[in-house]
Structure 1
């Protein structure tokens, strides 16, 4: 038992010694990191105002490779023509003044949170309207210095960027919004920006936009020349496709329903003036309100948009239905006037025939003196002559339209019947031309 206690005491003592040595090693390792930082960034040893040398230590321009990670796109505003994006922005370059000993691979990199300790590229976003950094809970920024002198700068930022839009095909359009990054003070002789090889732009997988879909993105260069020199520039073109289902439900289907409701007036009796007037005025005002609401959500542009063509034609159809009732009302009053004239004429003819019959009955002695041949103005003779002319004329081919319209004796009724067929046919033809034109133009613009 004594020897057993002795062995356990030795084992416990050895464990304490190994733990103490490990803690001392960690402490010494962190102290070595501090010594390395003091060695490369100490006072009088590194000047952050001087840019790094070029590739392989030459006097050429410093090369900075850029890549971004798009975390979210919150909105795309058609009125102000801008969009908001949150991204992680990364830059990587080589500064040979920051080389250090990695202690046989144990020191992979040094981490800093103060960007002013090392030289930084003067990159800015040329189409930025607003922007801010994220400082909750700590500033979302870090700088990593690798043993070979490579520097990685990463920061999370939110930006509101300008996006000029062409709304001629709205809402069947696609928009290209750019993200431009350029050097502000260093020319291409001193600083060059390049996209990181491989995958320079990454997008979060579950990116959701309310009215758009991000179809694809393209990286390119946009170097600019000014009076002060040529400056390096990078850009990302984001291609957004507008979701049409929202506009189909909110605009196109309601407009179609208003146009169809205005056609109900053609089926109402021509004497129902209050019903037809109220229906026409109500649909016209509703369509005008719908049009003004659509225009309120868009900027005032000098060209005609696809939605303007649609709402304009729908408004024209509704207004045409109201004018059709005005024409029917006028034709109805004209038909009543003609019917009254015909009735008066028939009454006069009947009165003259009755007077002639009375005269013949009272003067029976004059019957033998009547000539056997009728006078040319005699109504019976004219009727027989007209019948002979009709039989002598060649038979005409029956006209289907005239035969069908002859079923409706009044002109006002004929106008209503023709409108029942003409308005839907013309509106269907307009839909065919509208959708084929803008959908094909959309494919051509792609």
Structure 2
């Protein structure tokens, strides 16, 4: 009987222990379930009807009646385009705001409830921030709206949203395509003045940029954050801005514009080495290069806005077009000089012929006089004039005038004398001088152009 009673007590204790374990497990599960249900109760407690009014702004620092402080930071996800014609750029970013609203404080249950999450922005007070230089913008709603609001136990509110914006970017294209452009992102309060709302950049790292940011024609060099408060007749409004400094990639323009223009100018110089009589070849070469250069210039200007000032690319194309046009005018001058040379040669030949005829007539008359003289002896007409003959002396003086060396030797004249040019041929000498002058002047222009625009300080916009 004693053994049976002891066994009964043992079994009874064992059942009680198992029952206690089951009850504790059930209570733990219910506690977890009840803890998740507490989030709803907390939201109803702080945002319930009649308890929170989203139309009233939060109080200032330390519960004072000062302005509410909103700290802002952004994350630049991508920059899709920078348009020179419309002077705008498109950017996609994650925009975040954080402020303190003491009306939203709640119990965090010993740290187990880190924050509450909302997806409806109209349930809490929101700053009336807008982008002052925005042209277009939209939110992202695939698959769900890319927005959330986190409420922390101390009443701090974090608002985050992903947006795409097309923003105005006034550009100064005086140094195009060797320029740098500053595009701004401006954020300001629309209705609350600085007495009620102040925007501040978040301390630490207010602007972040994705690491693999790639732009086809620009490079993002750096960005600067600043404040841009504006005063109007209705008050002063808080404003934030971030300046993005873009440097234009020059390699594209070097390959597509500068090198082809140089090649066209050099091709136009080929006419200087063609024969003067090759009129169709020289005319077709000059006209073709001129039309090609004009087409290139119009294509460049078509991709740029019609600004009132002169751009660096305008100087380059204008000078190149002038060189090509100058080569064509040089041929017109050569052709005119060639015709003048031919007319002068014909005139000289006619004068020489008349002189020879006159000399022959005078010699014939002298021979007749000698024949009539009975006392004169037979004299044979000399085949070669003696050095003392007046006509021979005159011809000798003309040759000495043309062949006499200069008193002061000139390097250019010495170089020109090496070319097989006819005496007094101006047209050939124009070609020879152009072969030297055009390349030298173009090289000097390149030296001045690149030294001016590559080392010129960027002007303030």
What range describes the TM-score normalised by the shorter chain of this pair? Answer: 0.7 to 0.9
Q: For 1:409-432, what per-residue CA distance to the aligned partner results, in whole angstroms no more than 9, with x for missing partners? A: 752111111111110000000000
2:271 & 2:178 partners in 1: Cα distance? 33
Q: Secondary structure at the match of 1:365?
A: coil
Q: Relative to 1, partners in 2 of residues 1:321 and 1:385: Cα closer, same or farther, differing over 3 Å?
A: closer
State the partner residue of 1:423: 438
Q: Relative to 1, partners in 2 of residues 1:20 and 1:320: Cα closer, same or farther, differing over 3 Å?
A: farther
2:360 & 2:413 partners in 1: Cα distance? 31
Q: For 1:241-284, what per-residue CA distance to the aligned partner results, in whole angstroms no more than 9, with x for missing partners? A: 00001100010000000000101111111111111111100000
Instruction: Say which one has the larger Rg.
Output: 2
Match of 2:359 among 328, 331, 349: 349
1:424 & 1:374 partners in 2: Cα distance? 51
2:393 & 2:154 partners in 1: Cα distance? 122
**Aligned-pair CA distance for 1:442:** 3.7
Cα root mean square deviation, aligned = 4.1
Q: Relative to 1, partners in 2 of residues 1:11 and 1:169: Cα closer, same or farther, differing over 3 Å?
A: farther
2:376 & 2:176 partners in 1: Cα distance? 91
Q: For 1:39-75, what per-residue CA distance to the aligned partner results, in whole angstroms no more than 9, with x for missing partners? A: 0000000000000000000000000000000000000
1:291 & 1:118 partners in 2: Cα distance? 58
Q: Relative to 1, partners in 2 of residues 1:331 and 1:68: Cα closer, same or farther, differing over 3 Å?
A: same
1:362 & 1:405 partners in 2: Cα distance? 56
**Aligned-pair CA distance for 1:331:** 1.1
Q: Relative to 1, partners in 2 of residues 1:104 and 1:395: Cα closer, same or farther, differing over 3 Å?
A: closer
User: Does structure 2 retain, via aligned residues, the 8 Å contact 1:408–1:414?
Assistant: no
Report which stretch shifted further, 246-255 or 328-337. 328-337
**Aligned-pair CA distance for 1:295:** 0.3
1:215 & 1:337 partners in 2: Cα distance? 72
User: Does structure 1 retain, via aligned residues, the 8 Å contact 2:180–2:458?
Assistant: no
**Aligned-pair CA distance for 1:343:** 6.5
**Aligned-pair CA distance for 1:25:** 3.2
Q: Relative to 1, partners in 2 of residues 1:336 and 1:30: Cα closer, same or farther, differing over 3 Å?
A: farther
**Aligned-pair CA distance for 1:398:** 3.3
User: Does structure 1 retain, via aligned residues, the 8 Å contact 2:93–2:164?
Assistant: yes
1:68 & 1:372 partners in 2: Cα distance? 107
1:342 & 1:32 partners in 2: Cα distance? 125
State the partner residue of 2:454: 439
With structure 1 as the length reference, what TM-score do the two structures score? Answer: 0.88
User: Does structure 2 retain, via aligned residues, the 8 Å contact 1:112–1:143?
Assistant: yes
2:377 & 2:99 partners in 1: Cα distance? 132
**Aligned-pair CA distance for 1:404:** 3.6
2:227 & 2:182 partners in 1: Cα distance? 16
Q: Relative to 1, partners in 2 of residues 1:150 and 1:269: Cα closer, same or farther, differing over 3 Å?
A: same
User: Does structure 2 retain, via aligned residues, the 8 Å contact 1:64–1:91?
Assistant: yes
1:41 & 1:111 partners in 2: Cα distance? 13
Instruction: Give the 5 Å matches for 1:6-405.
Output: 23-334=29-340, 379-380=390-391, 383=394, 396-405=407-416
With structure 2 as the length reference, what TM-score do the two structures score? Answer: 0.85
1:367 & 1:384 partners in 2: Cα distance? 30
**Aligned-pair CA distance for 1:397:** 3.6
Report which stretch shifted further, 130-139 or 265-274. 265-274
**Aligned-pair CA distance for 1:362:** 8.0
Report which stretch shifted further, 118-127 or 268-277. 268-277
